[in-house]
Structure 1
Amino acid sequence: MSDRSVENIDRRRFLKLTGLSAGGLVLGATLPGWQPSWAAGLDKGGELNLFVSIDGDDTVSIVCHRSEMGQGIRTGLPQVVADELEADWQKVKVVQGLGDKRYGSQNTDGSRSVRRFYDTMRRMGASARTMLERAAAERWNVPAKECAARNHVIIHIPTDRRLGFGELAAAAAKQAVPDEKDLRLKDSAQFNYIGKPVDTVDTPDMVTGRANYGQDVHLDNMLIASIERAPVLGSGIAKLDDSAARKVRGLVAVERLDGGAEPPLFKPLSGVAVLAHNTWTALKARKLLNIEWTESPHEQHDSDDYLETLKDNVRQTGKTAVAEGDVDIALETASRQHSAIYTLPYLAHATMEPPSATAVVGEEGCEIWSCVQDPQSVQQHVGQALGLPPEKVKVNVTFLGGGFGRKSKPDFVVEAALLAKKMQRPVKVVWSREDDIRHDYYHAASAAYFQAGLDEHGKVDGWLQRTAFPSIGGTFQPGVDHPANFELDLGLTDLPFAIANRRTETQQADYHARIGWLRSVSNIQNAFGVCSFADELAHINGRRPDEFLLDLIGPDRKIDPSQGDYKYGNYGETLEKFPIDTARLKNVLRRTAARADFDTDGGEGWGIAVHRSFLSYVGIATRVQVRDEQLKILQMHCVADVGLAVNPDRVKSQMEGAMIFGMSLALMGEIKMQNGAVANSNFHDYPLLRMHQCPSLTVELVASGEPPAGVGEPGVPPVAPSITNAIFAASGQRIRELPINKHLKIG
């Protein structure tokens, strides 16, 4: 029995869900949602409902239930529907869906929007097309098989009679929804839009300033709130003196927000909110607050000391996650051994648009306007905070000025809702850049130990990898002090190397800061360690890195990392549909290596790294120059096999953005914590890549007939090791501790 269906839904329900005013044919599709095992019980979700409406004026309105943050999802998913529908793209209107459990998961992260909904969106388009064709057949009193959709009209093939979609919409709405087995999906050779570059529907508004972001929301009688939050996780308000702040002209109120309970979940931190009619007044008054904070068990946390502790821990035997063969004997009997430790600091999301949310609370419930990645999570957590059922929380999703995972955590939205309830008027919570840097859900600091045993021919016969970092699981439940299996899935337990004896272990890492998912999640540190260590082994053997990697990957095969009680997650997909395919990885490796000249000298060098993540295969080749202790990145090339690229232009843009994002993290990304508090505050001490630091970028997409895989995140992981491997090739300096600016000046 299929887990997908299409239904002709009630118009009133459609309008309620979307706010769209349309007539004629309204369809919905359902698909069970998916959530990672670690989130079980946190976000139950429901069934997916994506809708298409055809109005009498020929307009095809397609609802996008995902959040747009520059990745082009409001174009990509409708593009699929329009293609199967045979719609004229110029007559397509995209409507942003409100938060509603009937859509199923609306959490726009995990690089899964297209790969999870591609098939369903095709069936939606094909179902609507079939109903239009049947309605035309009845109008003309001819067999339906003689009717075909072509570019927004239905044609009676024998007589060339034609009817527009709008003319048939009302009659098509009365048709029974076709059975899935009767649907006729296009052959890929017939695609008009799928796999073709299509301009994003939102670009005109974005470049002309008409696009509405979270920070742009303005309501009548609205107050602006700026919040001074506890600097240390777990702290609360001990004493508050707001007398100086209350003297600021234009101040409306000072309100306490009690929080700080652990685990932090998505609840607000403890803080004091200053509310005024404008941002300037709120910020000015906030600076005059005098607050004493309660003690916290995390107030002695120092990030530098913490990394040293993690490094000490990974030198010791840990908990075994997965193992094959006998690693200990392989290492003991090896002709040569090599080991290394790699570290990454805490990292922040640093989106261009800091978090922002506007809320109104009344007798009927709460309404939200915000730049969120997961409106259903907003409904859940705002509802819990206000004592409302989730369906009483209406969430209007604005554009996001970047997300990277930060805006799927709705703590900032709960703040706005609580303050709106207290003030009984609209409240917009505005986070400053300093707020964003100091109160993020950080990417975990980490240390990883690698040890390899090589035989007399340089072949790797034993491989031990051990990692320690505070788990995302600690955000949701107490007592988590080791990385979780789902984090090991991201580049460690799915190691694609043909090594007979290998073992993956975890070591202790205590929790001292809010940890969350950041673009590509644990793949960041896992790929840095694996790809760097493989490069070290290549140089020990005197081999070109790409040739050594090809031998290390071994024969073409499909890999299943599951063993015993450990079940490999595979990003929520089956290995049958999305196998770990070493042939595809090797193809990407060869294509990436073709971009590099490994014989470069004179202070220049090439580095290479390849990695599978989010079901895609990405290689990065980087050329650098190292002179007088200064690093300059000269070129960076990306080769990506993402399966079918629905919109190649957007895929290339995402890879370019991933390269820039990855360079920022590798070169300069470091959050420092002292006495439990974040020491960074803005872009002067948490810098991002500048234009003059960005090299020339190229992206090659591998033509593929495989299903669409992830796009937004898989370009990030290989970036850092490709750079550090290139630095070694250029200078002989092996960098194992990020960021790179701790070792070299960045040109």
Structure 2
Amino acid sequence: MDNRKGIALVSRRKFLQLAGLSGGSLILGASLPGWQPAWASGLEADTKLNLFVSVDSDDTVSIICHRSEMGQGIRTGLPQVVADEMEAEWAKVKVVQGLGDKRYGSQNTDGSRSVRRFYDTMRKMGASARTMLEEAAAQRWSVPVAECEARAHRVHHKPSGKSASFGELAELAATQKVPDDASLKLKPAESFKYIGKPVPTYDTPDMVTGKAVFGQDVVIDNMLIASIERAPVLGSKLEKLDDKAAKKITGVIAVERLDGGIEPPLFHPLSGVAVLATNTWATMQGRKALKLSWSDTPHAQHDSASFIETLKQRVSEPGKVITQHGDAQKALEAADKRLQATYSAPYLAHATMEPVSATALAKEDGCEIWACVQDPQSVQAHVGTALGLPAEKIKVNVTLLGGGFGRKSKPDFVVEAALLSKKTGRPVKVVWSREDDIHHDYYHAASAAFFEAGLDKDGKVSSWLQRTAFPSIGGTFAPGADHPAPFELDLGFADMPFAIDNRQCETAQAEYHTRIGWLRSVSNIQNAFGVCSFADEVAHAAGSNPEEFLLELIGPDRKFDPSQGEYKYNNYGESQEKFPVDTARLKEVLRRTAAKADLSSVANGRSSGEGWGIAVHRSFLSYVGIATKVRVQNGKLEILEMHCVCDVGLAVNPDRVESQMEGAMVFGLSLALMGEIKMEKGAVSNSNFHDYPLLRIQQCPAMSVEIIASEEPPAGVGEPGVPPVAPSITNAIFAASGTRIRDLPINRHLTLA
């Protein structure tokens, strides 16, 4: 169908048919890492074998990408690892988008984990393919396999000079025994052709020529378009509906109710009324003609501004102790100087360039989905539950995503489409407008954090206390969540890397009043803002250079486990042996970041109204520093320069790492400068980019990215560039003007250039 042009959507069964042994092709499977999503637990061992690579007789190497492409380049990064180990020529590689299938292992494309979780697996897959092709050549020529070498899409027999293409060997290679992991010989790093090199993004040609298919582009025969008026306040239910005027509009076919108001909200649709029509204009006009009333809910008393003030009051009082080293309170009382500060950050929206959209065709025995989703297996699980069908009966075709940032791993919008298709008996495409996107997101939590430090007579930090409060993501999934979940404290709060003998971390109460979800970098956003800002405040109070002060705070080179007592550090789901918290790497990033800036005396900066600020932070197993230069004159702020230094382990595709860090800086600038979702009487009062603005091109400063060469395992890339952005800006503002901004966004305090 037309909607599938530009992206190959091939099921496992169809892939077998298209590239089967009878067609002269080699198909390979590989065991995946042991982690499985919750709904895939208990699988038999053989279901963990997944087809990823095939070689066709025409020399095409097809590599399945089982993760979602949203601009981060994963449909290039993972296949380039396979192609490198396989000795395939990139020009002859075809990337095939995998459907939702629990046999792939995790397909949840968030948490900056696609490369780090599958790098080793993809190398083994490529090496396995290369080995089988070499064995096929040895059998064909009746020579020892040791004399055969795959190179540049051919296998060469070194003594005789014979060679054969991958396509010529495919059928015979498919009869070879798949080698076990222990027998595989991986390429040494010095032989890499693509790994660690800037391979062009696979999907760029289709994107720039308009051939790429995103969720909003899907069109199938007999499809209805749905626009949904949803309850403005969490927990509200539909009480009255007058749809007479809506049904009179030409093109409107039906008006359907969607039950909702369920708490905890999970990924259920909100209560709403859908207008279904043959075209987008008709459905939107029909929606405007609806006359509705909604039930009351306790959340209707929620006001975001007063809520943040409540959180600030709560963190000013003793809270629940998470970690405790030494005696922070006693050391504070004995300090020569004590400093306190409270920071806050507002609710934030994902605001992806492509609002969410899903198309569904529901039948009695199954449902087919086309959608811009980050987690197709979650779609299978939740659509299956909504329709009363097994998850394996839900076929999920993953389109390209026009941005994700975590929003598109929450499948409420797909469930809407599936339920409406079942109600109408026709394919239904649910279209979210920008206003829908802003009004009904899973928001990044509003937060407040309190810090107190004690300095001794020499200006050294003798005690450090920090306390945070924000509504937990856990409230989206389970009732009663009123403190941050342990995993949220892992994100730049309880794992702070400071070598302070007396330090204590606490939490305070914060109930949820709206749908809370993960947004790019998650709790690292507010945690890094507080920790990095307060460290800068203390440095200035101690009369110290920020770089020198931070180096002293971080202390000696060491690898440490932040766990203590009941608090167990999760380390982003990875082993601390493979990905330790390494202060030597953090300090190297700090030194290189500071070298980008002029951190001389504050007075020198203020004389010109210009100043530098720095911040460094470890998140998603990577270490990132940001140096920002600003100008503050007559209450007006201009961002002049921004520089990023990152240690992400092995950079599989440096071009995409640089791009992701640049994107993170732009994303972080938007959030820090002007990001703020406002709620009044439980409803979001923002509606579009005029009152939830994103960074404009004229506001974007000159940028640079330095990637530190590393042989450490690949770590996260998509998210770790965001957290240090906000504190680097506010620290620079203080250096330039003497004004310390503790409450985001910055445009509350200064006019933006």
C-alpha displacement of 1:20: 5.2
- 2:75 corresponds to 1:74: yes
Whole-angstrom CA distance in 1 between matches of 2:319 and 2:12: 54
C-alpha displacement of 1:323: 1.2
C-alpha displacement of 1:598: 2.1
Equivalent pair of 2:33/2:117 in contact (CA under 8 Å): no
1:154-303 to structure 2, matched below 5 A, reads 154-303=155-304
TM-score, scaled relative to structure 1: 0.97
Whole-angstrom CA distance in 2 between matches of 1:138 and 1:460: 70
Question: Which residue is 1:654 aligned to?
Answer: 660
Whole-angstrom CA distance in 1 between matches of 2:158 and 2:621: 42
Whole-angstrom CA distance in 2 between matches of 1:730 and 1:48: 58
SS in 1 for 2:343: strand
- 2:133 corresponds to 1:127: no
- Write the letter of the residue equivalent to 1:653: S
Whole-angstrom CA distance in 2 between matches of 1:378 and 1:266: 10
Question: Which residue is 2:410 aligned to?
Answer: 409
- Write the letter of the residue equivalent to 1:726: A
1:280-359 to structure 2, matched below 5 A, reads 280-359=281-360
Q: Structure 1 14/396 Cα, relative in aligned 2: closer, same or farther at 3 Å? A: closer
SS in 2 for 1:509: coil
Question: Which residue is 1:679 aligned to?
Answer: 685
C-alpha displacement of 1:364: 3.4
Deviates more, 1:392-401 or 1:239-248: 239-248
Equivalent pair of 2:466/2:506 in contact (CA under 8 Å): yes
C-alpha displacement of 1:303: 0.2
- Write the letter of the residue equivalent to 1:585: L
1:575-614 to structure 2, matched below 5 A, reads 575-599=576-600, 601=605, 602-614=608-620
- 2:600 corresponds to 1:617: no
SS in 2 for 1:49: strand
Whole-angstrom CA distance in 2 between matches of 1:228 and 1:181: 57
C-alpha displacement of 1:631: 0.3
Deviates more, 1:24-33 or 1:514-523: 24-33
C-alpha displacement of 1:605: 0.3
Equivalent pair of 1:47/1:105 in contact (CA under 8 Å): no
Q: When the two structures are aligned, how many residues end up with a matched partner?
A: 733
C-alpha displacement of 1:47: 3.9
Question: Which residue is 1:473 aligned to?
Answer: 474
C-alpha displacement of 1:215: 0.3
SS in 1 for 2:298: coil
Whole-angstrom CA distance in 2 between matches of 1:744 and 1:427: 46
- Write the letter of the residue equivalent to 2:503: R
Equivalent pair of 2:40/2:102 in contact (CA under 8 Å): no
Equivalent pair of 1:359/1:369 in contact (CA under 8 Å): yes
1:49-88 to structure 2, matched below 5 A, reads 49=50, 51-88=52-89
Q: Structure 1 713/128 Cα, relative in aligned 2: closer, same or farther at 3 Å? A: same
Whole-angstrom CA distance in 2 between matches of 1:721 and 1:147: 56
SS in 1 for 2:698: helix
Whole-angstrom CA distance in 1 between matches of 2:561 and 2:233: 42
Whole-angstrom CA distance in 2 between matches of 1:225 and 1:33: 40
Question: Which residue is 2:4 aligned to?
Answer: none
C-alpha displacement of 1:165: 0.6
Equivalent pair of 1:14/1:26 in contact (CA under 8 Å): no
Question: Which residue is 2:5 aligned to?
Answer: none
SS in 1 for 2:401: coil
- 2:718 corresponds to 1:718: no
- 2:697 corresponds to 1:696: no
Equivalent pair of 1:99/1:106 in contact (CA under 8 Å): yes
C-alpha displacement of 1:361: 1.0
1:739 to 732, 738, 745: 745
SS in 2 for 1:394: strand
Equivalent pair of 1:33/1:48 in contact (CA under 8 Å): no
Whole-angstrom CA distance in 2 between matches of 1:476 and 1:409: 12
Whole-angstrom CA distance in 2 between matches of 1:414 and 1:101: 19
Whole-angstrom CA distance in 1 between matches of 2:213 and 2:550: 47
SS in 2 for 1:698: strand
Question: Which residue is 1:494 aligned to?
Answer: 495
C-alpha displacement of 1:107: 0.4
- Write the letter of the residue equivalent to 2:459: G
Query: What whole-Å deviation, never above 9, does each CA across 1:536-574 have from its counterpart, x for those lacking one?
Result: 011001111111101111110001011222210000001
C-alpha displacement of 1:523: 0.2
Equivalent pair of 1:99/1:397 in contact (CA under 8 Å): yes
- Write the letter of the residue equivalent to 1:287: K
C-alpha displacement of 1:251: 1.1
Whole-angstrom CA distance in 2 between matches of 1:218 and 1:453: 63
Whole-angstrom CA distance in 1 between matches of 2:618 and 2:15: 37
Q: Which runs of 5+ in 1 are unaligned?
A: 1-11
- 2:547 corresponds to 1:541: no
Query: What whole-Å deviation, never above 9, does each CA across 1:368-388 have from its counterpart, x for those lacking one?
Result: 000000000000000000000
Equivalent pair of 1:331/1:452 in contact (CA under 8 Å): yes
SS in 2 for 1:254: strand
Equivalent pair of 2:556/2:583 in contact (CA under 8 Å): yes
Equivalent pair of 1:655/1:711 in contact (CA under 8 Å): yes
- Write the letter of the residue equivalent to 2:640: L
SS in 2 for 1:225: strand
Whole-angstrom CA distance in 2 between matches of 1:216 and 1:406: 18
1:14-93 to structure 2, matched below 5 A, reads 14-16=12-14, 21=19, 23=23, 24-34=25-35, 47=48, 49=50, 51-93=52-94
SS in 1 for 2:300: coil
C-alpha displacement of 1:159: 1.2
Q: Structure 1 19/609 Cα, relative in aligned 2: closer, same or farther at 3 Å? A: farther
C-alpha displacement of 1:177: 1.2
- Write the letter of the residue equivalent to 2:467: R
Whole-angstrom CA distance in 2 between matches of 1:493 and 1:684: 37
Question: Which residue is 1:516 aligned to?
Answer: 517
Whole-angstrom CA distance in 2 between matches of 1:195 and 1:572: 24
Whole-angstrom CA distance in 2 between matches of 1:225 and 1:34: 37
Q: Structure 1 83/721 Cα, relative in aligned 2: closer, same or farther at 3 Å? A: same
Query: What whole-Å deviation, never above 9, does each CA across 1:576-625 have from its counterpart, x for those lacking one?
Result: 00011000000000000000012352000000000000000000000000
Question: Which residue is 2:7 aligned to?
Answer: none
C-alpha displacement of 1:292: 0.6
1:642 to 645, 648, 651: 648
Whole-angstrom CA distance in 2 between matches of 1:17 and 1:624: 54
Whole-angstrom CA distance in 2 between matches of 1:234 and 1:355: 22
- Write the letter of the residue equivalent to 1:675: K
Equivalent pair of 1:17/1:98 in contact (CA under 8 Å): no
Q: Structure 1 690/13 Cα, relative in aligned 2: closer, same or farther at 3 Å? A: closer
Whole-angstrom CA distance in 2 between matches of 1:489 and 1:386: 36
Whole-angstrom CA distance in 2 between matches of 1:303 and 1:43: 39
- Write the letter of the residue equivalent to 2:571: N
Deviates more, 1:102-111 or 1:240-249: 240-249
- Write the letter of the residue equivalent to 1:321: I
C-alpha displacement of 1:179: 2.2
2:734 to 713, 721, 728: 728
Whole-angstrom CA distance in 2 between matches of 1:581 and 1:633: 31
Same amino acid, percent of matched pairs: 73
Q: Structure 1 567/42 Cα, relative in aligned 2: closer, same or farther at 3 Å? A: farther
Whole-angstrom CA distance in 2 between matches of 1:48 and 1:489: 33
1:336-485 to structure 2, matched below 5 A, reads 336-485=337-486
C-alpha displacement of 1:249: 1.6
